[in-house]
């Protein structure tokens, strides 16, 4: 899944109330798994990358994913 779709899904979830969160717990758990997998893949790509420009882009994406994971943990879904 592309990072932009994950971000859109995440922003939608943050706007839900507690009842909707409980009803869609499975969807939230899937999103968590995708975020952790994306973080792991980006970390591997950064280590393998030789091109500085590409490495900077990957690093930006990695930081964005880390920020989303931090928000997810903070909101304790």
Question: How far apart, in whole angstroms, are the C-alpha atoms of residue 77 and residue 25?
Answer: 8
Residue 49 DSSP SS3 = coil
Terminal CA-CA length for the chain: 21
* 30-43: pLDDT as tens digits: 888 888 898 999 89
Q: Other CB atoms closer than 10 Å to residue 17's CB: what's the count?
A: 7
pLDDT of residue 1: 61
Answer whether 0.75 is exceeded by the pTM: no
| Secondary-structure percent of the chain, ordered helix, strand, coil, rounded to 5 | 85, 0, 15
């Amino acid at each position: 899944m592309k990072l932009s779709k994950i971000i859109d899904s995440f922003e939608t979830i943050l706007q839900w109330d507690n009842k909707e969160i409980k009803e869609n717990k499975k969807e939230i758990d899937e999103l968590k798994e995708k975020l952790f997998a994306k973080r792991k893949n980006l970390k591997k790509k950064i280590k393998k990358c030789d091109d500085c420009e590409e490495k900077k882009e990957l690093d930006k994406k990695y930081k964005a994913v880390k920020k989303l994971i931090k928000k997810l943990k903070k909101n304790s879904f």
